[in-house]
Amino acid sequence: MAEESGPGAGAGSGGSSGAVSPDQEGARLLALEQAGLSSAADEGMDRFARIAARLVDVPVALVSVAGAEHHSFPGMTGLEAPLSELRRTGLCAAVVSAGRLIVRDARTDPRTRGQPMTEELSMAGYAGLPLVDDDGVVLGSLCAVDRRPREWTDREVEALADLAEACAAEIRLRIVTRRIEEARGETAALLTRSELVLRASEVLADTTGTGQVRHQVGELITRDLQTSYAGLSLAQERIPWDATEGRWPDGTVQDPAVDPVATPWPTGRAAREKRTVAVHGIQEVRAEYGDEAAARWERLGFASLVCVPLAGTRRVLGALAVAWRHRHEPDLGELAVLTATAAYAARALERALFVDERIDVARQLQDAMLTELPSVPGLEMAALYRPAAARDRVGGDWYDAYRLPAAGEGEEGNEESGGPTLAATIGDITGHDIRAATLMGQARSMLRQADHDHPGAGPAAAVGALHHSTTTLDLGLTGTLIHAHLTPRDQGWELTWTNAGHPPPLLAVPGAPCRVLAEHEMMLYPGLAEGGWQEYRQTLPPGSTLLLYTDGLVERRGEDIDAAIERLGTLLAAGAGTPLPRLTHQLTVSMAGEDPEDDVALLALRCPGPDA
């Protein structure tokens, strides 16, 4: 006959004496979660309960696990409603701490007398054998319950102990399986994050502007970390506030007067204090940053925001801001990814800012060279320059128009002498970079110089002088251009031009098909023989429109350039009544789109009709 065991009787089998420590309780609750055991019915645990009931001939048998507040019965047989539906009772500290507990009559035993479990189960005889995990933590008991007092034999207790060990082995197997799955998930997550960091290093290494850096960071983080928002807040003299393309996630335009580094906001604190800053919820934002910041937070709809400083080699450039619309506290792996990405972004930004400054200088240079068109009586003019969207927004395309001096007089203008009054040029120096823009500026100035040094000479002579100068100075200039002189004739104008390998001008005359002025010579190239360009003449009657353009308007991959020029001519003829500034814009959008792949320059000239 088995002896009733006290609190310490089962210590050798996983039992323990005294109260359960917080560490033991935490370990037990974690193990139960990993095993998937709760008050929900579990087919495997129900089977162990049925075997226990038959083994020792009791009306009720349970697989009982101790949660934070209840004994739950994932395995059960013999209980009636409502316990059979609830599958739980109040927690009994003695049962939890003892592990192995053999009781003749639970109603009178001091360890179980008056406990919720005793009363709710109408329990008298009770035999509970511990269910222990691999770490020796008692997770619960395999319990045999009799409605009457019972003397438990050694053989019955031994049989229940063997069955409890089999049940515990099943639970341990589940825990190990769950831990393996979690380890696989963590390994996969680490691999994914490592790949993200590697992609960040590769992608950001190829960026050439702050806009590209911002776009790539946003794409990487929002896609891989499932964030609601990712942006860069930069502190610069020229750009005081700039997150994702100047807009908040709700689409509203950001206030350019708000500086994220100086204004109370988490990005500012991260940049000033050079540390990662996290905030969760509007109350924390209001307490740390004030009512204005809380109002902004509420408008954005964030629940959590993490800001990582962008530490450059010489100074902090700003902060990387990442937000979620639900509360989210990043783990160490996510924080490591954000920190690494911010470091790569800071290096890319430093490089981009340096490049942007150089491009800014080049833009100013190019803008300075694309001067305003002169005012010439009896002639309308409009010009447009659209840089390629995917490049540095500088290049070798240009247009120019200027008054010509009178032959032999050095006067500006030549209407009275009957000579040419205006020079017009469209050109494209090979290249799409700062060097091309610089060479373009030199070619433009040399061509003007040639015209003004040799008044009365034709456009071919000016192009020849340009070629001679660039070859003598060994500038390495290559490219194409059309240079023309315009002379008033009756009610219209006479066009004299030379074409150095450039796309042909188009002439639209009311009532006639658009004409392609296809005559041309060799392009500009070092080593060409002198005097290689011829001049051609064409009358521009009243109402006619002449269009000069660069190849970015008509060249498309996979499209025949002659067909594109024909289509451009049709559009030009259809726009006979359209004001020239609007017409040049419409032609550019129709032929090259809003964001052209190549630089585009246009120069349009119109002889007003008699009704103008």
pLDDT of residue 584: 93
pLDDT of residue 446: 92
**Residue 481: beta bridge partners?**
427, 500
DSSP per residue over 488-553, as a string? EETTEEEEEEEEESPPPPEEE-TTSPPEE----BPPB-TTPPTT----EEEEE-TT-EEEEE-GGG
CA dihedral in degrees (48, 49, 54, 60; nearest 10)? Answer: 170
Judge whether residue 355 has pLDDT over 80: no
Judge whether residue 11 has pLDDT over 90: no
Judge whether residue 12 has pLDDT over 90: no
Q: Which long-range contacts link 285-289 to residues 24+ away (Cβ below 8 Å)? A: 289/264, 289/265
At 481, the pLDDT band (50, 70, 90 cuts) reads: very high
Judge whether residue 416 has pLDDT over 60: no
pLDDT in tens, 547-590: 999 998 998 888 899 999 999 999 999 988 899 999 999 999 99
CA angle 557, 562, 568 (to 5 degrees): 90
At 412, the pLDDT band (50, 70, 90 cuts) reads: very low
How far apart (Å, rounded) are the C-alpha atoms in residues 201 and 189?
18
Judge whether residue 361 has pLDDT over 80: no
At 492, the pLDDT band (50, 70, 90 cuts) reads: confident
pTM: 0.50
How far apart (Å, rounded) are the C-alpha atoms in residues 167 and 289?
55
Question: What average pLDDT does range 529-533 have in this prediction?
Answer: 74
Judge whether residue 283 has pLDDT over 90: yes
pLDDT of residue 97: 66
How far apart (Å, rounded) are the C-alpha atoms in residues 269 and 359?
31
**Residue 399: beta bridge partners?**
426
Please give the mean pLDDT across all residues of the chain: 81
How far apart (Å, rounded) are the C-alpha atoms in residues 207 and 377?
49
**Residue 129: beta bridge partners?**
142
Closest by CA to 140, choosing from 5, 10, 1, 6, is 10
How far is residue 213 CA from its own chain's centroid? Answer: 9
Question: What average pLDDT does range 503-532 have in this prediction?
Answer: 87
Residue 376, SS3 per DSSP: strand
Question: What average pLDDT does range 73-87 have in this prediction?
Answer: 89
Closest by CA to 98, choosing from 4, 207, 210, 185, is 4
Range of weakest confidence among 153-167, 202-216, 449-463: 202-216
Judge whether residue 544 has pLDDT over 90: yes
CA angle 598, 600, 605 (to 5 degrees): 165
Question: What average pLDDT does range 245-261 have in this prediction?
Answer: 44
pLDDT of residue 345: 83
Query: 């540095």: which residue's tokens?
Result: 392
How far is residue 479 CA from its own chain's centroid? Answer: 38
How far apart (Å, rounded) are the C-alpha atoms in residues 203 and 212?
10
Question: What average pLDDT does range 291-308 have in this prediction?
Answer: 89
How far apart (Å, rounded) are the C-alpha atoms in residues 112 and 93?
9
Fill in the DSSP letter of residue 2.
P
How far apart (Å, rounded) are the C-alpha atoms in residues 350 and 366?
24
Question: What average pLDDT does range 283-308 have in this prediction?
Answer: 90
At 258, the pLDDT band (50, 70, 90 cuts) reads: very low
- 141, 117 contact by CB (below 8 A): no
pLDDT of residue 195: 63
How far is residue 194 CA from its own chain's centroid? Answer: 18
Instruction: Name the helix (H) or strand (E) containing 397.
Output: strand 397-403
The two structure tokens encoding residue 447: 């061509």
Range of weakest confidence among 1-5, 51-55, 337-341, 518-522: 1-5
Cβ atoms within 10 Å, residue 518? 12
pLDDT of residue 198: 62
How far apart (Å, rounded) are the C-alpha atoms in residues 72 and 66?
6
Judge whether residue 471 has pLDDT over 80: yes
Query: Of all residues in the chain, what percent carry a pLDDT higher than 90?
Result: 35
pLDDT of residue 206: 66
At 524, the pLDDT band (50, 70, 90 cuts) reads: confident
Edge-first strand order for the sheet with 600-606 is: 380-386, 600-606, 545-549, 506-508, 515-516
Range of weakest confidence among 160-164, 259-263, 301-305: 259-263
pLDDT in tens, 163-181: 999 999 999 998 888 888 8
The two structure tokens encoding residue 507: 């002439």
Closest by CA to 384, choosing from 590, 534, 221, is 590
Judge whether residue 120 has pLDDT over 90: no
How far is residue 441 CA from its own chain's centroid? Answer: 38
How far apart (Å, rounded) are the C-alpha atoms in residues 284 and 293?
10
Helix, strand, coil: what percent of the chain each, to 5? 40, 20, 40
How far is residue 591 CA from its own chain's centroid? Answer: 30
Judge whether residue 398 has pLDDT over 80: yes
Judge whether residue 59 has pLDDT over 90: yes
Instruction: Name the helix (H) or strand (E) containing 350.
Output: helix 332-369
How far apart (Å, rounded) are the C-alpha atoms in residues 499 and 460?
9
CA dihedral in degrees (231, 236, 239, 244; nearest 10)? Answer: 0
- 494, 537 contact by CB (below 8 A): yes
Higher pLDDT, 546 or 88: 546
Among 67-81, 86-100, 143-157, 298-312, the range of highest mean pLDDT: 143-157
At 243, the pLDDT band (50, 70, 90 cuts) reads: very low
Judge whether residue 249 has pLDDT over 60: no
Question: What average pLDDT does range 13-31 have in this prediction?
Answer: 62
**Residue 546: beta bridge partners?**
507, 605
pLDDT of residue 545: 94
Judge whether residue 388 has pLDDT over 70: yes
Judge whether residue 230 has pLDDT over 70: yes
pLDDT of residue 447: 92
Judge whether residue 335 has pLDDT over 70: yes
At 188, the pLDDT band (50, 70, 90 cuts) reads: low
Judge whether residue 413 has pLDDT over 70: no
